Structure formats: structure tokens, C-alpha cells
Structure 1
Amino acid sequence: MNQWQGLAEFVAVAETGSFTAAAGRLAVSVAQVSRQVSGLEDRLGAKLFYRTTRKVVMTENGGVYYQHCRSLMDGLAEAERAILDLQATPRGKIKMTAPITYGEESVMPLVNDFVLQYPQLELHCQLSNQLDDLVTQGYDLAIRIGTLSDSAMMAKKLASRTRYVCAAPSYLNRYGIAHSLAELEQHNCLVGGSDIWRFQEAGKSRNIRVSGNIHCNSGHALVDAALKGVGLIQLPDYYVQAHLNEGSLISLLDHFREPEEGIWALFPHSRNLSPKIKLLVEFLAAGLGAASHNN
């Protein structure tokens, strides 16, 4: 037996003094209101209203019952408001992951600003270049760069990045400017996590194996070496854009540059995307998108 059945109809009649007005408030038929109230009276074994052709008046039992029902309805409304407030005001735990360098330089400053706005959030962020499984690791959100291959995820594009080949003016003054991909073998190419540099030629992807006297998995270390005139580097814009803007690095082979890569927010299909995650993704899209447009 549903103990809530008929309560909304009873309260509406008690407060409007009319079955017709109650039906209008609840957007149901008068017959349904009458049927629900009659069923409630039968269940309670007590008359709740005196009905005449002119008016409806609560009985003494009806008056007592109304006070309790009104408290119950108010409590239900308060519970619903609490849930709506919880959804509207981001709070609770968010577990996310992002690539190490891009996470340090671009993602986490924005996330920190977001948490500053919503201090009731508890953020757990793992910066890693490993492509962890979001579902098994319990992540709500992942930031990924480049081509996406996991169809089990939902994705939203946040921004884009561009890879640049560049060198310091001091290096170029000594060794000259590379004008073709074939000329790369004549230059000291500083190697990061891979000795394959990626380009596009005549609309097709080209992978070029390069070599040099420095191998290091730190983009910042390679930028420092390039700024000191050691050799050429190929790195994403967030490493080199400021140096390109000020002229301390010069971009090369621009007509062989690959198209921009997407930067994505990923969420598991199986996980309900809560308002706080949606709000964080929108915040990141605004911040990262603005940064990529300014590059």
C-alpha cells in the first residue's frame, strides 16, 4: 500500500477549498481528485471533508490530518530543494587524470581556479602519460590529446594544439635553416620521448626519424637546450609559443606542419555525467579554448 497515495490531492483540496480548484492546481481531472480523496478516507476510516453543492469544509479529523500532511509535503519539498541545490552547487569528489606537462601548465591552473570558485569540491587529479582505463580506475574525467581510439568513451573537444619545429637564432646563424624534410638529417635534432618527428607533405602524413646529441623525455629540458643554440626541437605550442612570440625561437618547416591535434575531455559512457562534471568541462573548454586561440 502506498501511504503517500492521495496526500497531494487531499492537501490541494484543503488549501483551495474546492475539488475543482485542486484539480486545476494539480493539472488532473476533478474525478481523479475525488477518487484519490475518497480512497484516502476509506483507508483512514475517517471523513476528511464535508461536501455540499456549494462548498467543501474540512472535518475535525481532516484539520488534524492536514497539519501532519502539510509538514510531510513541506519536508518532501525541502528534500527536493536540497538535491537541486546539491546539483546546482558543485560539491563532493571529482577524480580526473591529464597528461603530465599539459596538465601542469594548462589544465591544473584552470582546475585550481574552478576549485577556488567552488570550495566544497574535493578534487583528486592524477597527472600521467599512461592511458589508464577510466572505468576500472574510477575516473570521472580524463583529458586526452590527439586521435581518440576508445569508442567506449564520450568525448568533448576542449581545444587544439600545434607541433612546431624550431631553433634559436644562434643555432640557425651557425648551421643554416632547414627548408625541406630531407635536410633534417644534416641538423642536430634534439630527441624527446620518440625519435620520430611527424609532418604532413602533399596532404599525407610523413614520419621522419631524427637524431641528435641530446635525448631527454622532458620538454622543458629540450626547450632550454634549443634556446642555448644546441639544436632543433619539435614540441607542442604550449612549450614554445611564448619563445616564438618573443623571437628567442624561430619556427621552421611551417609548410610541412601537421594539422592541429584535438585536446579532449573524455567520460565513461556508463557513468552519469553529473552537473559538477559538466560545469568543470565547460570551464576547461572556455579556458583552454581561449588559450589555444591566442597562440
Structure 2
Amino acid sequence: MLLWEGVMEFVAVAERESFTSAAKQLGISTAQVSRQISALETRLSTKLFYRTTRKVSLTEEGQIYYRHCRQVIDGLEEAERAITSLRDKPQGLVKLTAPVTYGEQFIMPLLNDFQLQYPEVAISVDLTNQQVDLVEAGYDLAIRLGHLSSSSMMAKKLTSRTQYVCASPQYLATYGTPHSLSELSQHNCLLGNHDHWRFQESDKAKSVKVGGSLRCNSGYGLLDAALKGLGLVQLPDYYVSEALASGRLVAVLTQYQEPEEGIWALYPHNRHLSPKVRMLVDYLAQGLDNSL
């Protein structure tokens, strides 16, 4: 029992960043929480929190200890749910990360709907285009787009996307329509974060270096530029599908289009999915499949 003393209090303080809030969550006094944390730090011979009058935050050692304790508690919560048949009522915190624009447009609306259906689930979302370390940062889940680099993460495909090269009818009328990849060098190509566009030629992946008068890390910024006739753009379907359907953009070089690429849910290889995370992943897969 000594190993468990102070663990629940420690996790509550780590997640609430407050001794007072942790005490309210656990239904005990703030003084009792403080005593348990102090005893735990003494037993571990390690300082777990930085404490100021305004903020409580984890030390580096505290972050490591929290990740392990959180996994153990998640395991216990799952065991209780299995015994009490609560798999259809997910509970607890899910921490996830997703790309900014895709997260705003597709992931957040589904997460909000999920919480309306399962109000006992708390969700913490970090929208970032940085490839964060899930284990190091303590995430349960990450949404990733396109080709996955090899890693120790497990992946579940949620849906897929297709990349289009397109331009406005006005641009094509003025500068002509490219019919081969070599002709891209003669066109103003609107760039995102990369100087190369991906294609498939003779069943083999091909990367073509392009250049132009605009570089922008916003898909919507590039879309607007293409709609205004500034050049060719390569963007995923969820940016350009409406403009293609209405004729405001025209797809070109479709014979060199890459096959569909996946949109994925990633989670740590050594972490068994809890019911709340598994149900959320399934919910996202169904919702994304219906939205495209």
C-alpha cells in the first residue's frame, strides 16, 4: 500500500496545476493533499513540483513520474469499467494533438459533438503543426496527415485525402494549361512549406521542384491566391473540392495525381487503448468518413 500513498493526490495536482482544485476533485482537504505530496517527495527523495504563490508545475522528474502514474491509473480505470460494464459510457481525460487548420475545420467539431454525447469525457486539445513526441508530452492520441514516417507509434486510418494541382480558369486562359510535369517550370507555382510537389509517374512516386512568386504556410492563403489567378497550387481535396465543383478552379495534371493518402490516429505502441480513447477514435473515423 505504501507504493500507492500520495499517487492519486499527485496525479490530481499535476492535472489541475493546483493543490486546492485537486483537493476539491478528490473530496479531501488541501492540507491533506499537501501532506501526501510532501510524504511522496520524501519517499522518492525527489522534488515533484515547482511551487509559487500563483502556480504549481511539474519538475522534470515529476513529468516522468506523472506519465507512469497516469498509465497505471488509466489501467485501473479500464479494469473497473470492464467489470462494471461502463464501456458504453467513456469517462476521464483524453489529451490529443492535431494539425491547426485540419483540426479547426474537421477535428474540433467532431470533438465537440463527442462531448455532447459523452459529457463525462474531458478533452484537452493542442492544435499545432509541430510533430510532438506523444510519450514525452503525455498525449493519448495524435491526428497526422499524409505519409507517416516510421516510428514506434501505432496507427489507425481514419479517412483519406487526395492532392490536387489546380488553377483558376483565368490563369489557365492567360498562361496555358500544363500537360506534363516538365511544364511546371514555366508556371508560377504557389508554394507552401516545401519546394517540391509530389506526383506519380509510371506507377512510381516522383517529386518535382517548383517555384513561384508566393510562399505561404496557410492552405487557405494559397487557395485564395489561386482563386484570384496568381498561379498553380497543390492542395488537399478539403481545401479545393468546393471550388473545383463550382468551376472556380480547374484540376490539371490529373494523370500524374498521387493515390489517396491516409489521415491517421496515432497512439503510443506500448499503451493499450482505454475505452474512452478507443471510442473517440472510432467516432472520429465515422465522422470524418461522412464529412468528405
Q: Is the shorter-chain TM-score for this pair beyond 0.5, marking a shared fold?
A: yes
1:210 corresponds to 2:207 = no
1:230 matches 2:230: yes
SS of the equivalent of 2:190 reads coil
Helix, strand or coil at the partner of 1:265:
strand
1:267 aligns with 2:271: no
Gaps of 5+ in 2: 1-78
| Cα distance in 2, alignment partners of residues 195 and 151 from structure 1 | 25
Q: Structure 2 CA distance, aligned partners of 1:206 and 1:81?
A: 49
Q: Structure 1 residue 254 and structure 2 residue 254: aligned?
A: yes
Mapping for residues 120-269 of structure 1, pairs under 5 Å: 120-269=120-269
Please give the alpha-carbon distance, in whole angstroms, between the structure 2 residues aligned to 1:251 and 1:81: 50
Structure 1 residues 212 and 263 mapped into 2: Cα distance closer, same or farther (>3 Å)? same
State the shift of 1:85 in Å. 5.5
Please state whether the residue corresponding to 1:289 is helix, strand or coil.
helix
Give the distance between the partners of 1:116 and 1:81, measured in 2 at CA.
Answer: 20
Supply the AA of the counterpart residue of 2:240. Answer: V
Alignment deviations for residues 233-261 of structure 1 (CA, whole Å, 9 cap, x no partner): 00111111111111111100000011111
1:136 aligned counterpart, secondary structure: helix
In 2: Cα distance, 1:270 partner to 1:81 partner = 20
Which amino acid is the alignment partner of residue 205 of structure 2? S
SS class of match (1:244): helix
Distance in structure 2 (CA, Å) of the matches to 1:270 and 1:219:
34
Runs of 4 or more above 3 Å deviation: 79-83
Looking at structure 1, the residues matched to 80 and 128 of structure 2 have their Cα atoms a distance apart, in angstroms, of 39
| Residue aligning to 1:276 | 276
The alpha carbon displacement at 1:143 in A equals: 0.9
TM-score (norm 1): 0.69
Measured in 1, the distance between the counterparts of 2:177 and 2:254 equals: 12
- For 1:267 and 1:125, locate their aligned partners in 2 and report how far apart those are by CA, in whole Å: 15
TM superposition score normalised by structure 2: 0.70
Q: Counterparts of 1:229 and 1:256 in 2: how far apart (Å)?
A: 22
Alpha-carbon shift at residue 280 of structure 1 (Å): 0.7
2:286 is paired with a residue whose SS is: helix
Report Cα offsets for 1:198-225 as digits up to 9, x if no partner: 1111111111111111111111011001
Q: Is the 8 A contact 2:81 2:87 kept in 1?
A: no
Question: Residues 82 and 271 (structure 1 numbering): CA distance in 2 closer, same or farther, change over 3 Å?
Answer: closer
Larger radius of gyration: 1
Separation in structure 1 between the aligned mates of residue 87 and residue 244 of structure 2, nearest angstrom: 43
Deviation string, structure 1 residues 70-120 (Cα, Å, up to 9, x no partner)? xxxxxxxxx968963554312211100111111111111111111111122
Tell me the distance in 2 between the aligned counterparts of 1:115 and 1:251: 38
**Which amino acid counterpart does residue 125 of structure 1 have in structure 2?**
V
Q: How does 1:16-165 map to 2 (within 5 A)?
A: 84=84, 86-165=86-165
Amino acid at match of 2:258: E
How far is 1:176 from its partner? 1.1
Q: CA separation in 1, counterparts of 2:151 and 2:182?
A: 37
Instruction: Report the alpha carbon displacement of residue 267 of structure 1 after superposing the two structures with TM.
Output: 1.2
Q: Cα offset for 1:136?
A: 1.2
What letter matches 2:179 in structure 1?
H
Deviations 1:10-35 (A, max 9, x none): xxxxxxxxxxxxxxxxxxxxxxxxxx
Cα distance in 2 for partners of 1:136, 1:199 equals 35
- Following superposition, the deviation at residue 272 of structure 1 comes to 2.5
Shift of 1:137: 0.8
- Over the matched positions of the two proteins, sequence identity in percent amounts to 59
Q: Alignment length, in residue pairs?
A: 214
The DSSP-based 3-state class of the residue aligned with 2:226 is helix
Q: CA deviation at 1:269?
A: 2.0
Inter-partner Cα distance in structure 2 for 1:146 and 1:107: 16
Deviates more, 1:269-278 or 1:227-236: 269-278
Matched residue type, 2:96:
M
Please give the alpha-carbon distance, in whole angstroms, between the structure 1 residues aligned to 2:139 and 2:81: 28
